Structure 1
Amino acid sequence: MFEEPSKSLDEPTTSTDDSKKDYGTNKCMQILCTRSLLCSAIYFALAYFIQGITDIASGFVNLPLQTILKDRLHLSPSQMGTFFFTCTVTWSIKPLYGILSDFVPICGYHRLIYLLVTTAINLCAWIALYFAPTEYNYLLIFCVLAAFSLAFNDVLIDALMISIGRPLALIGTLQGIQQTSAKLAATISQIPAGILASNSVSFQYNQTLNNNNNTLKNIKQNSDLNKYIFLIAAACPIILFFATLITVRERRRKLNKNNFTQTWSILSGIFQYKRFWIIAIFLFIYSASPQIKTALFYYQRDKLHFNPFYVSILNTLYNGCGILSALLYLSIFSHYPTKRVLRIAIVMRIFAVASYLFAIDKMTSICVAIITGFCSEITNLAILHLAAKSCPKNIEGTLFALFVSCVNFGAATGDWLGSIIYQYLGFIALIIIAIIWIGTTILVTCHINEHGINSTPDDDDEIDDKYHYYNVIEKQIQTIENEDSDDKETNCSSG
Structure 2
Amino acid sequence: MIDFEYYTKTYDDDNNNMFEEPSKSLDEPTTSTDDSKKDYGTNKCMQILCTRSLLCSAIYFALAYFIQGITDIASGFVNLPLQTILKDRLHLSPSQMGTFFFTCTVTWSIKPLYGILSDFVPICGYHRLIYLLVTTAINLCAWIALYFAPTEYNYLLIFCVLAAFSLAFNDVLIDALMISIGRPLALIGTLQGIQQTSAKLAATISQIPAGILASNSVSFQYNQTLNNNNNTLKNIKQNSDLNKYIFLIAAACPIILFFATLITVRERRRKLNKNNFTQTWSILSGIFQYKRFWIIAIFLFIYSASPQIKTALFYYQRDKLHFNPFYVSILNTLYNGCGILSALLYLSIFSHYPTKRVLRIAIVMRIFAVASYLFAIDKMTSICVAIITGFCSEITNLAILHLAAKSCPKNIEGTLFALFVSCVNFGAATGDWLGSIIYQYLGFIALIIIAIIWIGTTILVTCHINEHGINSTPDDDDEIDDKYHYYNVIEKQIQTIENEDSDDKETNCSSG
TM-score by length of 2: 0.85
Q: Which moved more, 1:481-490 or 1:191-200?
A: 481-490
Q: Shift of the alpha carbon at 1:231?
A: 1.2
- Partner of residue 445, structure 1: 462
After superposition, the Cα gap between the structure-2 partners of 1:90 and 1:207, relative to the gap in structure 1 and judged at 3 Å, is farther
After superposition, the Cα gap between the structure-2 partners of 1:247 and 1:275, relative to the gap in structure 1 and judged at 3 Å, is farther
Q: Which moved more, 1:192-201 or 1:236-245?
A: 236-245
Q: Shift of the alpha carbon at 1:257?
A: 1.8
Q: Shift of the alpha carbon at 1:27?
A: 23
Q: Shift of the alpha carbon at 1:174?
A: 4.1
Q: Deviations over 1:291-328 (max 9, x none)?
A: 00000000000000001111011111111111111222
Q: Secondary structure at the match of 2:410?
A: coil
Q: Shift of the alpha carbon at 1:107?
A: 2.9
Q: Pick the structure with greater CA Rg.
A: 2
Q: Shift of the alpha carbon at 1:200?
A: 1.8
Q: Shift of the alpha carbon at 1:91?
A: 1.3
1:456 aligns with 2:477: no
Q: Distance in 2 between matches of 1:19 and 1:450?
A: 47
Q: Secondary structure at the match of 1:267?
A: helix
Q: Distance in 2 between matches of 1:409 and 1:353?
A: 20
Q: Shift of the alpha carbon at 1:365?
A: 0.1
Q: Deviations over 1:221-249 (max 9, x none)?
A: 22222111111111112222233334444
Q: Shift of the alpha carbon at 1:130?
A: 1.1
Q: Shift of the alpha carbon at 1:8?
A: 15
Q: In 2, are the aligned partners of 1:325 and 1:378 still within 8 Å (CA)?
A: yes
Q: Distance in 1 between matches of 2:38 and 2:296?
A: 35
Q: Distance in 2 between matches of 1:14 and 1:468?
A: 46
Q: Which moved more, 1:157-166 or 1:123-132?
A: 157-166
Q: Shift of the alpha carbon at 1:251?
A: 4.1
Q: Deviations over 1:316-341 (max 9, x none)?
A: 11111111112222333333333332
Q: Distance in 2 between matches of 1:414 and 1:12?
A: 56
> Which runs of structure 2 are paired with 1:27-176 in the superposition (5 Å)?
38-162=55-179, 172-176=189-193
Q: Deviations over 1:408-442 (max 9, x none)?
A: 11111101110111011110110011011111112
RMSD: 5.5
Q: In 2, are the aligned partners of 1:102 and 1:398 still within 8 Å (CA)?
A: no
Q: Which moved more, 1:325-334 or 1:270-279?
A: 325-334
Q: Shift of the alpha carbon at 1:210?
A: 3.8
1:224 aligns with 2:254: no
Q: Shift of the alpha carbon at 1:178?
A: 2.6
After superposition, the Cα gap between the structure-2 partners of 1:111 and 1:36, relative to the gap in structure 1 and judged at 3 Å, is same
After superposition, the Cα gap between the structure-2 partners of 1:442 and 1:193, relative to the gap in structure 1 and judged at 3 Å, is same
Q: Which moved more, 1:331-340 or 1:138-147?
A: 331-340
Q: In 2, are the aligned partners of 1:58 and 1:186 still within 8 Å (CA)?
A: yes
After superposition, the Cα gap between the structure-2 partners of 1:29 and 1:17, relative to the gap in structure 1 and judged at 3 Å, is farther
Q: Deviations over 1:150-196 (max 9, x none)?
A: 11122223344456556776655544433222111111000110011
Q: In 1, are the aligned partners of 2:64 and 2:257 still within 8 Å (CA)?
A: yes
Q: In 2, are the aligned partners of 1:119 and 1:149 still within 8 Å (CA)?
A: yes
Q: Deviations over 1:23-48 (max 9, x none)?
A: 99999999999666655444333222
Q: Which moved more, 1:432-441 or 1:395-404?
A: 395-404
Q: Which moved more, 1:227-236 or 1:3-12?
A: 3-12
Q: Distance in 2 between matches of 1:225 and 1:40?
A: 37
Q: Distance in 1 between matches of 2:444 and 2:155?
A: 31
Q: Secondary structure at the match of 2:42?
A: coil
Q: In 2, are the aligned partners of 1:386 and 1:452 still within 8 Å (CA)?
A: yes
> Which runs of structure 2 are paired with 1:40-439 in the superposition (5 Å)?
40-162=57-179, 172-206=189-223, 210-392=227-409, 395-439=412-456
Q: Shift of the alpha carbon at 1:147?
A: 0.6
Q: Secondary structure at the match of 1:4?
A: strand
Q: In 1, are the aligned partners of 2:70 and 2:76 still within 8 Å (CA)?
A: yes
Q: In 1, are the aligned partners of 2:359 and 2:400 still within 8 Å (CA)?
A: yes
Q: In 2, are the aligned partners of 1:7 and 1:251 still within 8 Å (CA)?
A: no
Q: Distance in 2 between matches of 1:143 and 1:15?
A: 60
After superposition, the Cα gap between the structure-2 partners of 1:54 and 1:167, relative to the gap in structure 1 and judged at 3 Å, is same
Q: Distance in 2 between matches of 1:326 and 1:27?
A: 36
Q: Deviations over 1:9-32 (max 9, x none)?
A: 999999999999999999999999
- Taking only the aligned residue pairs, the percentage that are identical comes to 100
After superposition, the Cα gap between the structure-2 partners of 1:3 and 1:86, relative to the gap in structure 1 and judged at 3 Å, is closer
Q: Distance in 1 between matches of 2:103 and 2:115?
A: 21
Q: Deviations over 1:447-482 (max 9, x none)?
A: 333443233254864742278634532332233233
Q: In 1, are the aligned partners of 2:107 and 2:168 still within 8 Å (CA)?
A: yes
Q: Which moved more, 1:173-182 or 1:81-90?
A: 173-182
Q: Shift of the alpha carbon at 1:353?
A: 0.5
Q: Distance in 1 between matches of 2:394 and 2:373?
A: 17
Q: Secondary structure at the match of 1:456?
A: coil
After superposition, the Cα gap between the structure-2 partners of 1:445 and 1:411, relative to the gap in structure 1 and judged at 3 Å, is same
After superposition, the Cα gap between the structure-2 partners of 1:250 and 1:465, relative to the gap in structure 1 and judged at 3 Å, is farther
After superposition, the Cα gap between the structure-2 partners of 1:363 and 1:99, relative to the gap in structure 1 and judged at 3 Å, is same
Q: In 1, are the aligned partners of 2:126 and 2:269 still within 8 Å (CA)?
A: yes
Gaps of 5+ in 2: 1-17
Q: Deviations over 1:259-314 (max 9, x none)?
A: 32222111111101111111111110010000000000000000000011110111
Q: In 2, are the aligned partners of 1:11 and 1:164 still within 8 Å (CA)?
A: no
After superposition, the Cα gap between the structure-2 partners of 1:160 and 1:479, relative to the gap in structure 1 and judged at 3 Å, is farther
Gaps of 5+ in 1: none
Q: Secondary structure at the match of 2:238?
A: helix
Q: Shift of the alpha carbon at 1:72?
A: 0.5
Q: Distance in 2 between matches of 1:486 and 1:144?
A: 47
